[in-house]
Amino acid sequence: MTARRLLAAASCLLILLIIWPICALATNAAPIRIGVLAYRGTGEELSNWDDLPAQLAAAIPGRTFEVRSLAGPAMREAVQADELAFVITNSSQYVALAAEFGIQRIATVTLREALSSKESLGSVVLTLASRDDLRQLTDLRGKRIAAMAPDAFGGYLVAAREFLRVGVDLEVGDARLLFIGFPMRQAIEAVSSGKADAAIIRTCLFEQLAARDMLRAADYKVVAERPTPGFPCATSTPLYPDWPIAAARRVDRQLAKDVAMALLSLPPSPSGMTWDVPADYQPVSELYREMMLGPYADLRTSTFQGVLKNHRFFLLAVLLILVGGVVHAVRVEYLVRRRTAELQAARAQASELQKDAEHMARLSILGEMAGTLAHELNQPLATIAAFAQGLARRCAAGPVDAALVAETNREIVAQTERADGVIRRVRAFTKKRLAVRECKSIGSTVNEAVALFSHLQPDLPEITIDDWLPLGAQIEADHLQLQEVLLNLMKNAADAMRELPADEREIDISLAKGDGVVSIAVADCGPPVPAETFAHLFEPFFTTKPDGLGLGLAICKSIAEAHGGRLQVEPRDPPPGLVFRFNLPDARHAK
């Protein structure tokens, strides 16, 4: 018996030695860490997280839990480093961490006032009750809006989405944002102090502060209030799921299930908060996508809308520059067209004036030669009259020889043609017409001008023509205008030699070909011309004649330049006299 007792005692001791280290190991195992986002709602904790470790440990024997309060960036770093087993955070950070690190929600916080786990919180836009100008969200464009932080879910993001839906993009400066930090009631204080026109807060905070006599509800009103049946608080937005608790990607599935079951079985907290089955956070994901935040931040660079949102002012500046460039180009084009039209009108007017001046110059030449013209016409007319009278007397005296009648008629016809030729040449010379250019022999043009001048000029000086041009040489020009130039030059030459004896008066015309030009020179034997007169010979209205207009040489110069040529004057070598040289482009070079 003694031996058996000793053996049993030894066995119990051995079992005790084996079990004790295991129990001790289980008792001293590392606690399971739960990270909690360090945001506050009314200035107090959303719930008493300090009780959560004990509640979970009681529900899950053999496990210990530890709660760590972390700010947003620190929470992300801890999840990335696998330092946390579970995460309790707001809806927006949960969606971002789930997309980046694969955490999975296992339960959702449900507040006393919530309609359900998926309709729990939203945003309220408050302003002073006296602000009758602020009724809709669009009325806040350009105004000052106080909010808690750029990543606060109910305190900014939910309302920002509604602003965006009505065309007010808070992120690009459609309103002036004032982020006031914790506690959230400071946003309302910014409105009451006049620092802001409106405030964004989470739903039910306004009612909670009013219930605690921390503000007078009558002093404020809700902008764009959205009635929600069954929800006891005012809201300006739809309702979204509240905070979830999520398991990290490497947490044991059984542990996650045990924690979820424990949370769902917990009684309501003193504030009325409970845990419910995981809500659908798709509305939160859609919010992120619309605002191109969190997991959808790449949309800002991969879509046109995102690029427009990110670079709105730059693109607007570029657009303004482009519009300004287009407007400037259109304006320049308009000015160019208008000035071109004005220039064309001015040129047309100048051309018309030039034609009038040329016409007047030709009439002036004829006026100066009117006596000679009458003499030229009087001779054939007198001859015709004499022959007609003689023929009449012969007929009255008796039978007339037929041969005599025929001869008389031939002479009458010849004199008639002579008079008609003079009239036609004068009419063609004085006719006002459009300039017509043609390729024609310059020699024939000079001969026609000399022939016309011989009919018009009394006491005609001797005219010699030296034609050194190749046979049939032509130039492209208005040959009637060239005749006008030659008549002016020959008339001036004849006037310059009027005081000389008849045997000393001589006009020499020479035609020669140079480097791509045809030169027509008209030389006289007139008296010397003072040097100061040379500088003014081609100026309009400058004349050395008592009855001259001073337009002849000016018109001749403009005709030469219009044909691409030049009109020059120089002393004759050997003297006396002047040489007017008229250079015109050769027809082959003018084409």
DSSP states of 450-468 as a string? Answer: HHHHHHH-TTPPEEEEEE-
The answer to whether residue 12 sits within a structural domain is no
- CATH (domain of 211): 3.40.190.10
* One domain for residues 453 and 588: yes
Tell me the C-alpha distance between 225 and 234, whole Å.
7
Is residue 577 a contact partner of residue 525, using CB atoms and an 8 Å limit?
yes
* One domain for residues 391 and 465: no
Alpha-helical regions (H) of 90-203: 91-101, 158-165, 185-192
Start-to-end CA span in the chain (Å)? 147
The answer to whether residue 289 sits within a structural domain is no
Ordered mean pLDDT values, 10 residues apiece, the chain (591 residues): 55 51 50 84 51 90 91 90 93 89 92 88 95 94 93 90 92 90 90 95 92 93 92 94 92 92 90 88 88 74 55 68 86 88 81 64 56 56 70 74 75 72 61 68 86 69 87 82 85 85 89 87 88 75 65 79 87 88 74 45
* One domain for residues 127 and 234: yes
* One domain for residues 581 and 444: yes
| pLDDT of the residue at 381 | 74
* One domain for residues 468 and 587: yes
Tell me the C-alpha distance between 514 and 528, whole Å.
28
β-sheet bridge partners, residue 474: 441
Determine the 3-state secondary structure of 220 from DSSP. Answer: strand
| pLDDT of the residue at 220 | 96
The answer to whether residue 14 sits within a structural domain is no
Q: Is the dihedral of CA 120, 123, 129, 133 positive or negative?
A: negative
The answer to whether residue 197 sits within a structural domain is yes
* One domain for residues 197 and 166: yes
Which amino acid does the sequence have at 121? L
> What is the pTM for the complete model shown?
0.50
The token pair that represents 502 in the structure block: 């008849």
* One domain for residues 475 and 587: yes
* One domain for residues 271 and 315: no
The answer to whether residue 11 sits within a structural domain is no
Domain boundary (366, 394, 412) is at 366
121 phi, psi to nearest 5 deg: -145, 160
Question: At which residue do the structure tokens 């020499």 appear?
Answer: 508
- CATH (domain of 580): 3.30.565.10
Domain boundary (399, 431, 463) is at 431
The token pair that represents 298 in the structure block: 């790449």
The answer to whether residue 292 sits within a structural domain is no
The answer to whether residue 16 sits within a structural domain is no
The answer to whether residue 7 sits within a structural domain is no
| pLDDT of the residue at 367 | 57
* Domain interval for residue 111: 22-116+244-279
Total domains present in the chain = 5
* One domain for residues 233 and 252: no
- Strand segments (E) across 38-180: 65-70, 86-88, 104-110, 123-128, 144-147, 176-179
| pLDDT of the residue at 166 | 93
* One domain for residues 566 and 551: yes
- CATH (domain of 29): 3.40.190.180
* One domain for residues 211 and 150: yes
* One domain for residues 80 and 144: no
Q: Cα separations (Å) of 382 from 372, 376, 447, 452? A: 15, 10, 28, 21
Instruction: Please report how many Cα atoms fall inside a 13 Å half-sphere around the Cα of residue 519, on the Cβ side.
Output: 15
Secondary structure letter of residue 171 according to DSSP: G
